[in-house]
Amino acid sequence: MSDPNCIFCKIVAGELPATVVNRADGLIAIEDINPKADVHLLVIPERHFADFREVGVLSADESKRMLEFIAETAQKAGLEEYRVLNFCGAGAGQTVFHLHWHVLGGTIRGMPA
Ligand code: 5GP
Ligand code: ZN
């Protein structure tokens, strides 16, 4: 459920600092440490799994709550229009191998097209 070498597991456990903007049962939203948009948030399920290909480990209810939490996080951040991105696999630009969603608002710079 948790990987001791994973940055996001450490953030979830409070072992690494992060600016938490939203939290719910099993889910956390933080500010990206290297923002590539005016608003750049990361939505992270607390449960460790590497990437979107493994999304089936979540129950139907957990998946639904994760999607709702993304929308709620964007709304709380004051975003009416925004992008939700997932990079699945190193070849697609993923660098942290714990599933997460980028929520990007405003002007975007430096993100893969
Ligand atoms: P990926 O390329 O895997 O989709 O995105 C990983 C994201 O995590 C990047 O946008 C990167 O800036 C962010 N990131 C990497 N390490 C940390 C960290 O320690 N704290 C926070 N808040 N974000 C991080
Ligand atoms: Zn992890």
pLDDT averaged per 10 residues, the chain (length 113): 93 97 97 98 98 98 98 98 98 97 96 73
pLDDT at 1: 73
pLDDT at 113: 65
Q: What is the Å distance from ligand 1's center to 35 Cα?
A: 9
pLDDT at 50: 98
Closest atom, ligand 1, to C-alpha of 97: 3
For residue 35, the 8-state DSSP code is -
pLDDT at 95: 97
Q: Where does ligand 1 bind, in terms of residues with CB under 6 Å?
A: 7, 16, 18, 30-34, 42, 87, 93-96
Q: Please count the CA atoms within 13 angstroms of the CA of 55 that sit on its side-chain side.
A: 15
User: What global pTM score does this model have?
Assistant: 0.98
Q: Provide the residue count of the chain.
A: 113
pLDDT at 91: 96
Active site residue 100: yes
Task: Round to whole Å and give the CA distance between 78 and 9.
Answer: 27
Task: Round to whole Å and give the CA distance between 73 and 79.
Answer: 9
